[in-house]
Copies of this chain bind each other. A is one copy, B any other.
Amino acid sequence: MDKRPYLLLANDDGYDALGLSFLIEVLREDYDLLVVAPDGPRSGFSTAFTVMSPIAMRSVREEEGLSVYACSGTPADCVKVALNRYTRRRPDLVVSGVNHGDNSSVNAHYSGTMGVAFEASLQGIPAIAFSICDYSPKANFEPLLPYVKDMVSRVLREGMPPLTCLNVNFPLRSTFEGVKVCRMGNCRWEKEIVDCPSPRHDAEFYWMAGNLTNLEPEAEDTDRWALDHGYIAITPTTLDNTDYRYREILLNSW
Where the two chains meet, the residues of A that have a C-beta atom closer than 8 Å to any C-beta of B are 41, 43-52, 54-58, 72, 74, 76-77, 80-81, 84-85, 106, 108-110, 115, 118, 122-124, 158, 160-164, 179, 181-184, 186, 188-189, 191-193, 196, 198, 202-208, 234-247, 249-251, 253-254
Contacts and interface: CB of A to CB of B under 8 A. Distances in A.
Contact of A161 (B50, B55, B241, B245): B245
A243 B254 contact: no
Given A41-B52, A106-B122, A186-B163, A80 B208 contact: yes
Given A179-B254, A208-B49, A161 B246 contact: yes
Quick one: copies of this chain in the complex? 2
Task: Determine the main DSSP class of A at the interface with B.
Answer: mixed
Instruction: Choose among A160, A198, A247 the residue with the greatest number of B CB atoms under 10 Å from its CB.
Output: A247
A198 B164 contact: no
Contact of A243 (B76, B186, B238): B238
A205 B50 CA distance: 12
Contacts of A189: 80, 122-123
Instruction: Choose among A76, A122, A205, A236 the residue with the greatest number of B CB atoms under 10 Å from its CB.
Output: A236
Given A55-B208, A85-B206, A250-B234, A108 B241 contact: yes
